[in-house]
Amino acid sequence: MNINTQQQLLIDPIIHEHPLRFHEEATEKLKFCSACRLELRGASYICTKCPDRYTQNYDRYVQYHLDPERKFYLHEKCAKLPYEIQHPSHSSHPLNLYTKYPYKGFKICDECGDIPRGFIYLCEECNFMLDVKCAAQTAQENGVSSMQHKGIESSRHHFGHEHDLLIGHCSDPINQVGCNICELPISGQAHFCPGSSCHYIVHESCLRLPEKMQVPFHAGHMMVMRSKDSQKYPNYFFRMSPPRCYACHGFFSSIVGYECEECPLYFLHSTCANSLRRPLMKLESHEHNLYYLGTDCQLLSANYNFPFNCSKCRKNCRGQPFYRCMECNDINFHLECVPLLHIVKSRHHIHPLTLKDSFIEDDSGEYYCDICEEERFAKDHVYYCEECKGLFLAHIECALAKVEYVVSYLDGQEREESRIESEPSSSDNEYDSSVNSESSYDDDEQSVQDKEEEDSSAQES
Ligand SMILES: [Zn+2]
Ligand SMILES: [Zn+2]
Ligand SMILES: [Zn+2]
Ligand SMILES: [Zn+2]
Ligand SMILES: [Zn+2]
Ligand SMILES: [Zn+2]
Ligand SMILES: [Zn+2]
Ligand SMILES: [Zn+2]
């Protein structure tokens, strides 16, 4: 192969500050074009000097996810994009190429509604913008939908922000923008402020967070959502001595979070407060209730590497969801060290439920527990009904609040389901109490009649 063609340089100071090298062969590694943000296979132009611009000064939590070797890549055709185009979606003026939206704040592509993280074409006069993938399409391909995305109003207003918000989509596979409430990367629907002096974008689910909430491990006191620049805490306070989240021990650099109304400096990240709303009750493994600390909460404390060692197996719990005691100083359990039930018959559902590490029903971004009907995080563990093919899903804590019998434990202990099913119904109560003493999940002391009533109503539903 000729070295000259392999190292052919494309000097292009407008698109990129360094010379780009032509790269002929395809690589196995998944790459995305920095201009159109679509997958890149085969020949490309590559900058060997710098990683993608987002890597350098982007939010540290997002960096946690990033491949440090990520480079600036362009499709061959994207390296040769014209600097000015005429587009049928905006025939009155020419559109100019920019490597990113040149003004402050967020703007969606007027065609597809995405918030672009790659190159764009912009009419400065009308503030009409297309991302590169939409600019490449013809009028017929995109003409019909174009009216639908001209600033869909989200009709949402957040008490933490003074302006009305619009809906956009974050579809970039890697360069995700961080939410102003929870700090975590946004993928999917987002609500953003179109104001040019604001840099405000939030998850749909974060908009629904209440202004005040109670968490069971800080009973009796109300947690209130505070913003970094609320009058009580001027900016310098956070810069001088950032407080820590009581749950995950991560620094509290967030703009928004919960603080106890009565205890000064008792802070919780909004994500931590929200996911710790349900206790796992009365376990044999520990005298206090335990709380599920998901991977999102751990991301928030990634900057401060607090060791969460398992109280049973002594290994680190980080990197996977685990249960933590909020009363003791450092009591944590892997899910299989609790041990959680792998398959369980809950009184809340007619079929046995199986523990899954996550379940995403659709792309709505909104998921609920079929027992308490409160929100469920797509990334968190869930009890799933195999028989109903996922039409019944429940929080771990909700399903385990009323255990009828145990089929198997996560640590490998098995029970024979057939033996349990053959138990005569008259001995239900007796059987319950024997399960009770072993698993301690069932604190329910219903009479046999009550239980039979509930069973028959469960059958009907
Ligand atoms: Zn491209
Ligand atoms: Zn677009
Ligand atoms: Zn605003
Ligand atoms: Zn958020
Ligand atoms: Zn936290
Ligand atoms: Zn363990
Ligand atoms: Zn404890
Ligand atoms: Zn629930």
Residues 216 and 332 in one domain: yes
- Chain length of the chain: 461
68 pLDDT exceeds 80?
Answer: no
Residues 201 and 245 in one domain: no
Q: Which ligand has an atom closest to residue 251 CA?
A: 5
Tell how far the Cα of 351 is from the centroid of ligand 7, in angstroms. 33
Tell how far the Cα of 281 is from the centroid of ligand 8, in angstroms. 13
Q: Which ligand has an atom closest to residue 202 CA?
A: 4
Residues 300 and 236 in one domain: yes
Determine the pLDDT at residue 13: 46
Tell how far the Cα of 111 is from the centroid of ligand 2, in angstroms. 5
Tell how far the Cα of 403 is from the centroid of ligand 1, in angstroms. 54
Q: What is the ipTM of this complex?
A: 0.72
Determine the pLDDT at residue 72: 79
When pLDDT is averaged across residues 17-37 and rounded to a whole number, the result is: 78
What is the 3-class SS of the chain, one letter each residue?
Answer: CCHHHHCCEECCCCCCCCCEEEECCCCCCCEECCCCCCEECCCEEEECCCCCHHHHHCCHHHHCCCCCCCCEEEEHHHHCCCCEEEECCEEEEEEEEECCCCCCCCCCCCCCCECCCCCEEEECCCCEEEEHHHHCCCHHHHCHHHHHHCCCEEEECCCCCCCCEEEEEECCCCCCCECCCCCCECCEEEEECCCCCCCCEEEHHHHCCCCEECCHHHCCCCEEEEECCCCCCCHHHHHHCCCEECCCCCECCCCEEEEECCCCCCEEEHHHHHHCCCCECCCCCCCCCEEEECHHHHHHCCCCCCCCEECCCCCECCCCCEEEECCCCCCEEECCCCCCEEEEEECCCCCCEEEECCCCCCCCCCCECCCCCCECCCCCCEEECCCCCCCCEECHHHHHCCEEEEEEECCCCECCHHHHHCCCHHHHHHHHHHHHHHHCCCCCCCCHHHHHHHHHHHHHC
Residues 149 and 249 in one domain: no
Poorest-pLDDT segment among 109-118, 122-131, 177-186: 177-186
Tell how far the Cα of 257 is from the centroid of ligand 6, in angstroms. 30
Amino acid at 104: K
Tell how far the Cα of 280 is from the centroid of ligand 6, in angstroms. 17
pLDDT tens per residue across span 329-343? 789 999 999 989 999
Tell how far the Cα of 232 is from the centroid of ligand 8, in angstroms. 34
Q: Which ligand has an atom closest to residue 200 CA?
A: 3
Tell how far the Cα of 290 is from the centroid of ligand 7, in angstroms. 7
Residues 367 and 319 in one domain: no
Residues 118 and 200 in one domain: yes
Examine the fold and report which residue of 58, 79, 100 is the final residue of a domain before the chain moves on: 79
Amino acid at 26: A
Nearest to 342 by CA among 424, 417, 454, 248: 417
Nearest to 203 by CA among 256, 281, 268: 256
Residues 239 and 332 in one domain: yes
Residues 319 and 398 in one domain: no
21 pLDDT exceeds 50?
Answer: yes
Tell how far the Cα of 416 is from the centroid of ligand 8, in angstroms. 27
Name the token pair of 454: 């509930």
Name the token pair of 198: 């604001």
pLDDT tens per residue across span 41-52? 888 888 777 654
Q: Which residue has the higher pLDDT, 27 or 211?
A: 211
Domain residues for the domain of 419 are: 341-460
Tell how far the Cα of 283 is from the centroid of ligand 5, in angstroms. 24
Q: Which residue has the higher pLDDT, 411 or 107?
A: 107
Residues 324 and 361 in one domain: no
Examine the fold and report which residue of 64, 79, 94 is the final residue of a domain before the chain moves on: 79
What percentage of the chain carries pLDDT values higher than 70?
72
Tell how far the Cα of 185 is from the centroid of ligand 7, in angstroms. 32
Tell how far the Cα of 272 is from the centroid of ligand 4, in angstroms. 11
Tell how far the Cα of 284 is from the centroid of ligand 7, in angstroms. 12
Examine the fold and report which residue of 150, 177, 208 is the final residue of a domain before the chain moves on: 208
Poorest-pLDDT segment among 26-35, 317-326, 347-356: 26-35
Tell how far the Cα of 20 is from the centroid of ligand 7, in angstroms. 57
CB atoms within 10 A of CB 145: 13
Q: Rounded CA gap, 75 and 79, in Å? A: 6
Tell how far the Cα of 64 is from the centroid of ligand 3, in angstroms. 28
Q: Which ligand has an atom closest to residue 310 CA?
A: 6
Tell how far the Cα of 310 is from the centroid of ligand 6, in angstroms. 4
Determine the pLDDT at residue 100: 85
Q: Which ligand has an atom closest to residue 38 CA?
A: 1
Confidence band (pLDDT; 50, 70, 90) for 4?
A: very low
Determine the pLDDT at residue 128: 94
Residues 184 and 232 in one domain: no
- What is the residue-averaged pLDDT of the chain? 76
Confidence band (pLDDT; 50, 70, 90) for 324?
A: very high
Q: Which ligand has an atom closest to residue 133 CA?
A: 2
Confidence band (pLDDT; 50, 70, 90) for 223?
A: very high
| Count of domains observed in the chain | 4
Poorest-pLDDT segment among 11-15, 179-183, 222-226, 257-261: 11-15
Amino acid at 321: P
Tell how far the Cα of 392 is from the centroid of ligand 5, in angstroms. 29
Tell how far the Cα of 271 is from the centroid of ligand 4, in angstroms. 8
398 pLDDT exceeds 50?
Answer: yes
Determine the pLDDT at residue 366: 77
Tell how far the Cα of 41 is from the centroid of ligand 1, in angstroms. 10
Tell how far the Cα of 273 is from the centroid of ligand 4, in angstroms. 13
Q: 72: exposed, middle or buried (C-beta count within 10 Å: 0-12, 13-18, 19+)?
A: buried
Name the token pair of 416: 């024979």
Q: Rounded CA gap, 190 and 170, in Å? A: 7
438 pLDDT exceeds 60?
Answer: no
Nearest to 343 by CA among 290, 401, 385: 385
Cα–Cα distances (Å) from 306 to 249, 301, 312, 317, in that order, read: 7, 7, 18, 11
Determine the pLDDT at residue 102: 86
171 pLDDT exceeds 90?
Answer: no
CB-CB contact of 188 with 365 (8 Å): yes
Q: Which ligand has an atom closest to residue 314 CA?
A: 6
Tell how far the Cα of 60 is from the centroid of ligand 3, in angstroms. 24
Q: Which ligand has an atom closest to residue 168 CA?
A: 2
pLDDT tens per residue across span 360-395? 877 777 789 999 998 888 889 999 999 998 889 999
Q: Which ligand has an atom closest to residue 130 CA?
A: 2
Cα–Cα distances (Å) from 307 to 267, 329, 337, in that order, read: 20, 12, 17
Residues 315 and 432 in one domain: no
Residues 306 and 416 in one domain: no
3 pLDDT exceeds 80?
Answer: no
Q: Which residue has the higher pLDDT, 320 or 442?
A: 320
